[in-house]
Amino acid sequence: MADTPTTAKRILIVGGGTAGWMTAAMLVHSWAKHGFEVTLLESDSIGIIGVGEGSTPKMRRFFDRIGVSEAEWMPHCNATYKCGIRFPDWSTKPGYQSYYHPFFSQSDDGPIRAFYQNASLRSRNLDVHAHPDTFFISQYLAGQRRAPQPDERSGYVADYAYHFDAALIGDFLKRWSTARGVRHLVGTVNQVRVHENGDIAGVDTPEHGQVDADFFVDCTGFASLLIGKTLNVPFQPYKQWLFNDSAVAMPTPLDADGTLPSETLSRALKFGWVWKIPLTNRYGNGYVYSSEYVDKDAAERELRETLGLLDSPVEARHLRMRVGRVEKSWVRNCLAVGLAQGFIEPLEATALMIVQDTVDMFMQRYEQGGFSERYRADVNEKINLIFDGVKNYVFTHYKLNSRSDTEYWVNAREATPLTPELERILAVWDRGGDLLSELRSQAGRQVYSPTSWYCILAGMGRFPTRPGKPPRDVQVFLPAEMRKFCEGMLQHFPDHRQALERLKQAEAA
């Protein structure tokens, strides 16, 4: 690590939500040995947002990095495995009313090539089966409620993510981080002090008086206390593409037969979509909607109706969302992480992935050059590309929807501007061109892999109508064979519930 004169040894994280505690864990794990002191200050009167139960596969890298095994953390957080996300009712096209966004690994290379081949032929208006669900083992695993933990005989390596309780994961990381030296203060910041040069000097709290530091991490959630309210970094809303600004959430009991899904369900409703996330003790459900199209009470009623809870006393939690990002996440001696830096609605459960990326990139660059403006600019540019890349992909779900039951869905498709990246992708796809080359040419601006792009375009049925017969000499993969291959692999994967029980026993041993 470069030992520059500007090295900041005292780091204050303000905010103890998942973002704050993930940041604390990463910092203390790698930097405590270099003499850094990490303090986390959180307000018990304000509390945390308390949602955020789905992840991407990157979360595995987080726990690997800090050296915590699944048996150590998952049972404490009521965590389950996530093979992918299923999207029913976004498309009305016959045969495409639902599709599944899988997690995949190098072991899926063969099926992926087969899927690309068939999807490319179908996009050239040839009558070939190209629904992504047929090609990915992950989809079959989720369909049978199995865990993505193959036995050794399979020779298969699965990629996957997790679901977990948002409050319990924060508690787990709090215990883990404080045991390794993170100082924990409970207090509410009522003033932020700034040096003459504009850097942040410290924060004031009634409970602890002045708390000073050399470097600050803003994890204050949507309050954005340091980066937004103190340093006045402008916020760029994503409203023209993503107009959901609210959510209502409530739990439901697990299925009576004792089985446990290993996927997130993201079903489109009249004015948005509802997530259904399985934990080991309950389902988390939440309707993400636009308040311009439906009011809070009607949204709650639609969610209750969907969940069969119309007459249930179970309480609903209503939330507002600020969707967009700050222009720069690292400004002066302050890095914003989590909801304080920005948020893209949770359709692909990407928020904690961006937390990880932000802290990772900051640490890498800081280790190389301290506070050099060049590195700060580089980190900011990369974070913005990630936000904008995720926004583009999430927006594509709305742009490709074919529902016409409400003005909401019509406007989501027709009254939203194409981003330049999506415009090029759709142009190439719609003319049956070489999508892979197009995506490769956009690699620097893309967060999602070509496989994810093929899945969404094919899965939502964006194909020409009335396809013709393919010529004899083109290679076509038959769905029955793909199904047979994937179904043949299922014997190597355990039942999801049983796999989690085994994890619990391993932890207890």
Q: Is 221 a residue that touches ligand FAD (CB under 6 A)?
A: yes
Q: Is 490 a residue that touches ligand FAD (CB under 6 A)?
A: no
- What string marks each residue from 120 to 159 as x (binds ligand FAD by CB under 6 A) or -? ----------------------------------------
304: which 2 tokens? 């209750």
- What is the largest distance, in Å, between two alpha-carbon atoms of the chain? 79
Q: Is 49 a residue that touches ligand FAD (CB under 6 A)?
A: yes
Residue 90: closest CA among 507, 495, 417, 395: 395
Spatial distance between the Cα atoms of 168 and 176, rounded to a whole number of angstroms: 12
Spatial distance between the Cα atoms of 407 and 500, rounded to a whole number of angstroms: 43
Whether residue 318 contacts residue 295, with contact meaning beta carbons closer than 8 Å, is answered with: no
Please, which of residues 13-32 interact with ligand FAD by CB under 6 A?
14-20
Active site residue 174: no
Q: Which residue has the tokens 């002066």?
A: 332
Q: Is 225 a residue that touches ligand FAD (CB under 6 A)?
A: yes
Residues in the chain: 509
- The three-class DSSP label of residue 204 is strand
Residue 18: closest CA among 161, 163, 219, 198: 219
Residue 48 or 503 having the CB closest to ligand FAD: 48
Residue 346 or 450 having the CB closest to ligand FAD: 346
Whether residue 207 contacts residue 188, with contact meaning beta carbons closer than 8 Å, is answered with: yes
From 9, 33, 58, 82, the catalytic residue:
82
Spatial distance between the Cα atoms of 359 and 335, rounded to a whole number of angstroms: 9
343: which 2 tokens? 């948020």
Q: Which of 12, 189, 233, 458 touches ligand FAD by CB under 6 A?
A: 189
In the complex, minimum distance from the CB of residue 470 to ligand FAD, in angstroms, rounded to a whole number: 40
In the complex, minimum distance from the CB of residue 447 to ligand FAD, in angstroms, rounded to a whole number: 14
Please, which of residues 313-352 interact with ligand FAD by CB under 6 A?
319, 321, 338-340, 346, 349, 351-352
Spatial distance between the Cα atoms of 187 and 34, rounded to a whole number of angstroms: 27
Q: Which of 11, 38, 219, 500 touches ligand FAD by CB under 6 A?
A: 219
Q: Is 247 a residue that touches ligand FAD (CB under 6 A)?
A: yes
Whether residue 339 contacts residue 225, with contact meaning beta carbons closer than 8 Å, is answered with: no
One-letter amino acid of 218: D
In the complex, minimum distance from the CB of residue 53 to ligand FAD, in angstroms, rounded to a whole number: 5
Q: Is 386 a residue that touches ligand FAD (CB under 6 A)?
A: no
Residue 356 or 442 having the CB closest to ligand FAD: 356
Q: Is 220 a residue that touches ligand FAD (CB under 6 A)?
A: yes
Q: Which of 6, 47, 415, 481 touches ligand FAD by CB under 6 A?
A: 47
- What DSSP state is assigned to residue 315? P
Whether residue 109 contacts residue 287, with contact meaning beta carbons closer than 8 Å, is answered with: no
Q: Which of 1, 32, 46, 426 touches ligand FAD by CB under 6 A?
A: 46
In the complex, minimum distance from the CB of residue 12 to ligand FAD, in angstroms, rounded to a whole number: 11
Whether residue 347 contacts residue 391, with contact meaning beta carbons closer than 8 Å, is answered with: no
In the complex, minimum distance from the CB of residue 263 to ligand FAD, in angstroms, rounded to a whole number: 13
In the complex, minimum distance from the CB of residue 149 to ligand FAD, in angstroms, rounded to a whole number: 22
Q: Is 52 a residue that touches ligand FAD (CB under 6 A)?
A: yes
Q: Which of 54, 57, 272, 342 touches ligand FAD by CB under 6 A?
A: 54
Please, which of residues 268-297 interact with ligand FAD by CB under 6 A?
286
Angstrom CA distances, 206 to 191, 210, 216, stand at 10, 9, 19
Q: Which residue has the tokens 């800081």?
A: 366
Residue 465: closest CA among 172, 64, 96, 32: 96
In the complex, minimum distance from the CB of residue 341 to ligand FAD, in angstroms, rounded to a whole number: 8
Q: Is 43 a residue that touches ligand FAD (CB under 6 A)?
A: yes
Whether residue 343 contacts residue 285, with contact meaning beta carbons closer than 8 Å, is answered with: no
Which residues are at the interface with ligand FAD (CB under 6 A)? 14-20, 41-43, 46-49, 51-55, 166, 188-189, 219-221, 223, 225, 247, 286, 319, 321, 338-340, 346, 349, 351-352
Active site residues: 82
